[in-house]
Structure 1
Amino acid sequence: MPLLIVVIGILALLLLIMGLKLNTFISLIIVSFAVALLLGMPMHEIAKSIEAGLGGTLGHLALIFGLGAMLGRLIADSGGAQRIAMTLVNKFGEKNIQWAVVAASFIIGIALFFEVGLVLLIPIVFAISKQLKVSILYLGIPMAAALSVTHGFLPPHPGPTVIAGEYDANIGEVLLYGFIIAIPTVILAGPLFTKLAKKIVPNSFEKTGNIASLGEQKVFKLEETPGFGISVFTAILPVILMSIATIITLLQETMGFEDTNLLAIIRFIGDASVAMLLSLLVAIYTMGLARNIPMKTVMASCTTAITQIGMMLLIIGGGGAFKQVLINGGVGDYVAELFKETSMSPILLAWMIAAILRISLGSATVAALTTAGLVIPILGQSDVSLALVVLATGAGSLIASHVNDAGFWMFKEYFGLSMRETFATWTLLETIISVAGLAFIMLLSLFV
């Protein structure tokens, strides 16, 4: 019965969002109340449960997400992202142009959220395509693969960050293991998949695409942009700080050396929130003040970044509310009881649930949060690495992007593809990322 109520809730969510075109956040809150009532939760507890879910989720995420958005916007508005892309294109050369796009998109994808990275990089890809007379899709698939992988596996992106918080996983470990999984996954879903896509839908590689909807894009002269080294350093500084703290902690646990004030300081600096704040302060200087850009202009970029993520934060909060209803309503315990005697790994279970919800709901973040509500009670029954369960949930939530996902339509319109061609490129690309990600996670679980 509880699982039937969840299915009814998901169908209601689809009807409200796709049928009635209701805002996703409002739809999530309505469904959360309805599901709570159907699960038989006491009426006086329902509102408190929803508030706790929304507040608990945003309380962990808002600081990291907000600071990350500002950091990414500063790198974009200063021309740092363009410098990274163009320098790598020049270094790799025409023969290795796909690898240049992968490397640039991966570095930029660490700092910028998926949609922002896509809007920023597509004009650059179109310009390179025209200059070198190669297909836009030949460069577009590796670009989308790198952006999607960083979005699904690497903090401070919303999916892995919020799920790490829900599972109480070490965000540094998620980042470290995420890198190990992300690199081979990008290679498979990017340059290697492009060869397969060319055979499946050869005509799509002749399309010219259309980026008129992006409006007038700010193009910098290369000498106006920050240096390549400082741009890369600023983009990946949060990763460096969090990774150092995680590696030191893992070494301490393995080798058993004593705790000291120095180690405490390293752990403090490597905390996700502190790392993001320090990185933003560095970016304000390197991308702004050091280049004689007035503080008012720098702060305007930060304000724009926050304005753009307001609704995204509410949607994530709504997903957290729905997740909390599933836990407090007993659905998670019911699922835990169902799988009590099973030998199935929580990694595989989390991936499967997230994949089903992703295909149903479209939103990767909402699918991941709903999965958390079902999987959390199971985690106490296993000694599996929580960081790997986070990554498995992220991998599942990327699978088979189709007509109910905004990314599907963005890719289709920008690259001028038919529906069939979009399914054979974008949908298949996302599925490869999801399945390959799971395979590498399962492989890594043998060693950690």
Structure 2
Amino acid sequence: MPLIIITIGVILLLILIMGFKLNTFVSLIIVSFIVALALGMPMADVVGSIENGLGGTLGHIALIFGMGAMLGRLIADAGGANRIATTLIDKFGEKRIQWAVLFASFIVGIALFLEVTIVLLVPIIFSIAKELKVSIVHLGLPMVTAALATHAFLPPHPGPTAVASEYGANIGLVLIYGIIVAIPTVILAGILYPKLAKKIVPTAWTREGSESFGVQKTFILQETPGFGISVFTALFPVILMALGAAVDMIQPAMGFEDNMLVKIIRFIGNSTTAMLLSLLLAIYTMGLRRNVPIKILMNSCSSAINSLGMLLLIIGGGGALKQVLIDGGVGDYVAKIFEGSAMSPVFFAWSVAAILRICLGSGTVATLTTAGLVLPLLATMPKVNLELVALATGAGSAIASHVNDAGFWMVKESLGMTLKEAFGTYTVLSTIVAVSGLVFTLLLDQII
């Protein structure tokens, strides 16, 4: 019965969002109330469960998420992302242009959210494609692959950050493992698959892209921050969190006790501290060092936060639904079904996230709802690598991007493709990212 209730809840969510065009956050809260009552929760407990889920989800990640958005906006507004992309494209040359776009998008994608990465880089590859007389799809697919992989696997992106927090996983380790998984994944999906896709949907390679996406803020390259400092600023949170994660991995193996140095590294390697220090660095390198007034820098930060408002509410709404599933006993019911099962928790988390992603469209909502079903199961297992379960959940949330995903339409329109061409390129590409992410995560599970 609980699984039937979940199925009805998912269908209702689809009807509200796609049929009635209701706001996603409002739809999530409505469904949370209905599912809670249908599961037999006392009416007096329903509101408290929803509030705890929303507040508990946002309590930890809002800091990381908010500062990550401000960091990315400062790099973008200063022209740092533009400098990274144009420099790498120039260095790699025409023959390896796809690798240049992939590499640049991966670096930029660590700091910038998926939609921002696409909006920022499409105009750059638009002009490069015209100059080289190649289809924008030729360069666009490596770009969206890197943007999708960083969005699915790497903190401080909303999905990986939120699900790592829900599972109690070490965000620094999620980041390190995520990079290990993402590198071969983006090569498969962004470099190798397009060669096959060109034979499947050859008409896509005749597209020149949308002119509306060819307009961008104009930067004079000499006036933008240098390549080295731009890359360093974008990767600074990765460096700090990696240091903290390295200490957590090495200390048990080496057996040394905490000392002041270890405590300091662990403190600055904490995801929240790392994001704060990275934001302060960006204010200096992208602004003050270049004599940009602090008021302009703070305007960039404010605009980044203003654009996050609804996304934060949607994440909170996903957390509310997750909490209702836990408090309503659905998670325990699922745990009992799989009690004694030999199924890997990594594969189980991926499967649930993949099904929810296909149904709901939103990868972030899918990851948080998955947590509500998977958490009780993890409690029954003696030894589970929470970081890999978090990665598998993120991988599942990337699968089969199609018409109910805003990102699908963004890619389709920006690259000027038809629906058939978008299905043959981006939908398949996102599925390769999801399946490859699972395979490489399972391999890591055997090694670690």
TM-score if structure 1 supplies the norm length? Answer: 0.99
Match of 1:138 in 2: 138
Match of 2:171 in 1: 171
CA shift digits 1:312-371 (9 cap, x unpaired):
000000000000000000000000000002100010000000000000000000011000
CA shift digits 1:225-268 (9 cap, x unpaired):
00000000000000000001111221111111121011011000
Report the Cα distance in structure 1 between the residues aligned to 2:186 and 2:196, rounded to whole angstroms.
15
Match of 1:26 in 2: 26
Give, in angstroms, the shift of residue 417 of structure 1: 1.1
RMSD of aligned alpha carbons:
0.8
Report the Cα distance in structure 1 between the residues aligned to 2:355 and 2:218, rounded to whole angstroms.
41
Match of 2:253 in 1: 254
Structure 1 residue 287 and structure 2 residue 301: aligned? Answer: no
CA shift digits 1:180-213 (9 cap, x unpaired):
101000100101111011111111101111141x
Match of 1:111 in 2: 111
Match of 1:121 in 2: 121
Report the Cα distance in structure 2 between the residues aligned to 1:216 and 1:187, rounded to whole angstroms.
29
Report the Cα distance in structure 2 between the residues aligned to 1:304 and 1:444, rounded to whole angstroms.
39
Structure 2 unmatched ranges of 5 or more: none
Report the Cα distance in structure 2 between the residues aligned to 1:54 and 1:141, rounded to whole angstroms.
35
CA shift digits 1:29-74 (9 cap, x unpaired):
0000000000000010000000000000000110000000000000
Counterpart residue identity of residue 20, structure 1: F
Helix, strand or coil for the counterpart of 1:191?
helix
Give, in angstroms, the shift of residue 130 of structure 1: 0.8
Helix, strand or coil for the counterpart of 2:134?
coil
Match of 1:271 in 2: 270
1:67-86 maps to which residues of 2 (within 5 A)?
67-86=67-86
1:224-263 maps to which residues of 2 (within 5 A)?
224-263=223-262
Counterpart residue identity of residue 5, structure 1: I
Match of 1:49 in 2: 49
Report the Cα distance in structure 1 between the residues aligned to 2:136 and 2:351, rounded to whole angstroms.
33
Report the Cα distance in structure 2 between the residues aligned to 1:33 and 1:422, rounded to whole angstroms.
36
Counterpart residue identity of residue 29, structure 2: I
Report the Cα distance in structure 2 between the residues aligned to 1:401 and 1:136, rounded to whole angstroms.
20
Structure 1 unmatched ranges of 5 or more: none
CA shift digits 1:378-400 (9 cap, x unpaired):
11222121000000000001100
Give, in angstroms, the shift of residue 216 of structure 1: 4.3
Match of 1:399 in 2: 399
Match of 1:99 in 2: 99
Give, in angstroms, the shift of residue 133 of structure 1: 1.2
Match of 1:6 in 2: 6
Aligned residues of 2:123 and 2:214 also touching (Cα < 8 A): no
Counterpart residue identity of residue 265, structure 1: I
Report the Cα distance in structure 2 between the residues aligned to 1:36 and 1:252, rounded to whole angstroms.
44
Aligned residues of 2:9 and 2:31 also touching (Cα < 8 A): yes
TM-score if structure 2 supplies the norm length? Answer: 0.99
Moved more, 413-422 or 18-27: 413-422
Report the Cα distance in structure 2 between the residues aligned to 1:416 and 1:135, rounded to whole angstroms.
10
Report the Cα distance in structure 1 between the residues aligned to 2:287 and 2:414, rounded to whole angstroms.
31
Report the Cα distance in structure 1 between the residues aligned to 2:352 and 2:194, rounded to whole angstroms.
29
Counterpart residue identity of residue 217, structure 1: Q
Match of 1:192 in 2: 192
Match of 2:356 in 1: 357
Structure 1 residue 342 and structure 2 residue 334: aligned? Answer: no
Closer, same or farther: CA 369–72 of 1 in aligned 2, 3 Å? same
Report the Cα distance in structure 2 between the residues aligned to 1:398 and 1:35, rounded to whole angstroms.
25
Give, in angstroms, the shift of residue 22 of structure 1: 0.4
Closer, same or farther: CA 421–375 of 1 in aligned 2, 3 Å? same
Counterpart residue identity of residue 81, structure 1: A
Report the Cα distance in structure 2 between the residues aligned to 1:41 and 1:249, rounded to whole angstroms.
40
Report the Cα distance in structure 2 between the residues aligned to 1:378 and 1:38, rounded to whole angstroms.
22
Report the Cα distance in structure 1 between the residues aligned to 2:76 and 2:370, rounded to whole angstroms.
33
Counterpart residue identity of residue 285, structure 1: Y
Match of 2:89 in 1: 89
Aligned residues of 2:138 and 2:205 also touching (Cα < 8 A): yes
Counterpart residue identity of residue 146, structure 1: A
List, as ranges, runs of 4+ consecutive aligned residues in structure 1 with deviation greater than 2 Å.
none
Aligned residues of 2:127 and 2:214 also touching (Cα < 8 A): no
Give, in angstroms, the shift of residue 215 of structure 1: 7.9
Closer, same or farther: CA 420–215 of 1 in aligned 2, 3 Å? closer
Report the Cα distance in structure 2 between the residues aligned to 1:193 and 1:219, rounded to whole angstroms.
33
Match of 1:430 in 2: 430
Report the Cα distance in structure 2 between the residues aligned to 1:277 and 1:353, rounded to whole angstroms.
33
Give, in angstroms, the shift of residue 415 of structure 1: 1.3
Counterpart residue identity of residue 379, structure 2: G
Counterpart residue identity of residue 289, structure 1: L
Report the Cα distance in structure 2 between the residues aligned to 1:209 and 1:233, rounded to whole angstroms.
31
Counterpart residue identity of residue 369, structure 2: T
